[in-house]
């Protein structure tokens, strides 16, 4: 019996709806493939936990998570009760940083039966490789008083090691796909970090002569995602640019509710974490409206990470057929509830395998 130990953290809001949905799908995977077992341990860490314990997870939370094969997270954030910069930095960002999950992989593509209201193309398929550990998300800086004025200073940190690592990852991924990497830059306006980003991109690209490269300023690139998304194969972006681009990637697919993501630890010292692009969506919490596809496709990425690629592909086929049949939630034009979509994916999974 092949067993995978998964730490599940539903978190806040719709995370508590879509994580159980995705776990149900994993249970069906177990039913179908007798030799496979997912040992899931659930941790109730999030904003409500914070109200009770004044921390987002126990003191030894990271020590607990360290021993798992993967972390499966829904979303964190309930700004009505805990400020986002506390909830996110103590849980989500803390795990990404502490477990050296330095790369965030975020695909976006078209699906038959789901026509995007936004994208000016019926056919695109790209992956954003987001640098996940430094860049604009740094703790460096602070507030100072300048004369009578209070000033907030935020330092962005771009190390050669971190930048090169993300870019190398992007090129290697492109080699397995359509051999093209686009760099999200802003070296025309951001004085120090972005010219450095371009310099590293040039250096890394020299090692991949067969891969076509281009760089595009983030403002123009954001527009191109909408107007000509079919142009892209792999896009490499800094932490913040990658964050913004991947919500656009989600929107052109049809909804942020379907976009998956994987936070990858590359040195094998810690588990990787799988959590969709979307957040806790407090506006639709408890209404049965949450699209579970983002979380379920994220589970597919976790299966790929485990090396279970055949099963992962079957799961994606099941998602594709449910989308094609239109048994989907409101955000992508359907009438189904979270549970109905999940039921349908489970049924399709049984049929495709």
Q: Interface with ligand NAD by CB under 6 A: which residues?
A: 14, 18, 75-77, 79, 84, 88, 92, 255-257, 275, 278-284, 290-291, 294, 331
- State residue 307 phi and psi, 5-degree precision: 90, 5
327 binds ligand IPM per the rule CB under 6 A: no
Neighbours of 147 (CB within 10 A): 6
Q: Rule CB under 6 A: which of 217-276 touch ligand IPM?
A: 243
Q: Is 344 in the site for Mn ion (CB under 5 A)?
A: no
Select from 7, 29, 88, 248 the one that contacts ligand IPM (CB under 6 A): 88
When CB distances are held under 5 to 8 angstroms depending on the partner's kind, the choice from ligand NAD, ligand IPM, Mn ion, none that residue 281 binds is: ligand NAD
Which among 88-96, 113-121, 212-220, 323-331 is the span making contact with ligand IPM, rule CB under 6 A? 88-96
Task: Please tell me the distance from the alpha carbon of residue 331 to that of residue 5, in angstroms, as a whole number.
Answer: 32
What residues contact residue 84 under an 8 Å CB cut-off, 6+ apart?
Answer: 77
Q: Contact 57/12 with Cβ under 8 angstroms?
A: no
131 scored as a contact of Mn ion (CB under 5 A) = no
DSSP state, residue 277? S
Closer residue to ligand IPM (CB): 186 or 334:
186
Q: Which is nearer to ligand IPM, 282 or 333 (CB)?
A: 282
Determine the size of the site formed for ligand IPM (CB under 6 A). Answer: 6
- Contact assessment for residue 315 and residue 296, using Cβ atoms and an 8 Å cutoff: yes
Within residues 91-130, the interface with ligand IPM by CB under 6 A covers 92-93
Q: What is the smallest separation between the CB atom of 34 and ligand IPM, expressed in angstroms? A: 35
Q: Does 281 bind ligand IPM (CB under 6 A)?
A: no
Residue closer to ligand NAD, measured from CB, 20 or 257: 257
| d(C-alpha 61, C-alpha 154), whole Å | 28
Q: Which stretch binds ligand IPM (CB under 6 A): 30-38, 63-71, 85-93, 229-237?
A: 85-93
C-beta closer to ligand NAD: residue 129 or 284: 284
- Binding-site partner at residue 280 among ligand IPM, Mn ion, ligand NAD, none, CB < 5 to 8 Å by type: ligand NAD
298 binds, among Mn ion, ligand IPM, ligand NAD, none (CB under 5 to 8 A by kind): none
Q: How far is CA 272 from CA 56, 261, 349, in A?
A: 19, 11, 25
Q: Is 194 in the site for ligand IPM (CB under 6 A)?
A: no
216 vs 243, beta carbon nearer Mn ion: 243
Instruction: Look up residue 164 and give its two tokens.
Output: 């090169």
Q: Is 243 in the site for Mn ion (CB under 5 A)?
A: yes
Residue 204 binds ligand IPM, judged by CB under 6 A: no
Q: Which residues of 226-254 are buried (b: 16+ CB within 10 A; e: fewer)?
A: eeebeebbbbbbbbbbbbbbbebbbbbbb
Q: Which two tokens stand for residue 207?
A: 């090692």
DSSP, collapsed to helix, strand or coil, labels residue 279 as coil
The residues with which 70 forms a beta bridge, in sequence order, are: 6, 272
Structure-token match 């892209």, residue found: 232
Shortest separation between residue 339's beta carbon and ligand NAD, angstroms: 13
CA nearest to 129, candidates 166, 102, 96, 179: 166
CB of 247 to ligand IPM, least distance (A): 7
Q: Are 174 and 236 in contact (CB under 8 A)?
A: no
To 5 degrees, how large is the angle CA 227–CA 289–CA 352?
A: 75
Site stretch for Mn ion (CB under 5 A), options 56-64, 104-112, 128-136, 238-246: 238-246
Q: How far is the CB of 76 from ligand NAD (least distance, A)?
A: 4
Residues near Mn ion (CB under 5 A) are 243
């Amino acid at each position: 019996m092949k067993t995978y130990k998964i730490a599940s953290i539903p978190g806040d809001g719709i995370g508590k709806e879509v994580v159980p949905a995705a776990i149900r799908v994993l249970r069906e995977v177990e039913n179908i493939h007798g030799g496979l077992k997912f040992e899931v341990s659930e941790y109730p860490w999030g904003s409500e936990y914070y109200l009770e314990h004044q921390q987002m997870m126990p003191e030894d939370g990271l020590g607990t998570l360290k021993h798992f094969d993967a972390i499966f997270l829904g979303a964190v954030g309930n700004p009505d009760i805990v400020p986002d910069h506390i909830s996110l930095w103590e849980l989500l960002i803390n795990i990404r940083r502490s477990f050296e999950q330095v790369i965030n992989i975020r695909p976006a593509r078209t699906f038959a039966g789901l026509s995007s209201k936004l994208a000016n193309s019926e056919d695109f398929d790209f992956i954003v490789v987001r640098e996940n550990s430094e860049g604009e998300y740094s703790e460096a800086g602070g507030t100072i008083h300048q004369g009578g004025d209070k000033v907030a200073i935020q330092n962005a940190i771009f190390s050669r090691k971190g930048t090169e690592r993300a870019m190398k990852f992007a090129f290697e991924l492109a080699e397995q796909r359509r051999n093209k990497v686009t760099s999200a830059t802003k070296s025309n306006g951001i004085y120090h970090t972005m010219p450095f980003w371009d310099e590293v991109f040039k250096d890394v690209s020299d090692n991949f002569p067969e891969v076509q490269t281009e760089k595009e300023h983030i403002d123009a690139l954001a527009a191109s995602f909408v107007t000509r998304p079919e142009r892209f194969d792999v896009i490499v972006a800094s932490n913040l640019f990658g964050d913004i681009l991947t919500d656009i990637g989600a929107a052109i697919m049809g909804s942020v509710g379907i976009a998956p993501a994987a936070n990858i630890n590359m040195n094998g010292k810690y588990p990787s974490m799988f959590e969709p692009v979307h957040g806790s969506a407090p506006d639709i919490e408890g209404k049965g409206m949450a699209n579970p596809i983002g979380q379920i496709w994220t589970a597919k990425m976790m299966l790929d990470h485990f090396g279970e690629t055949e099963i992962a592909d079957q799961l994606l086929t099941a998602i594709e057929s449910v989308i094609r049949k239109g048994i989907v939630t409101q955000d992508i034009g359907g009438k189904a509830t979270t549970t109905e979509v999940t039921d349908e994916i489970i049924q399709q999974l049984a049929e495709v395998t």
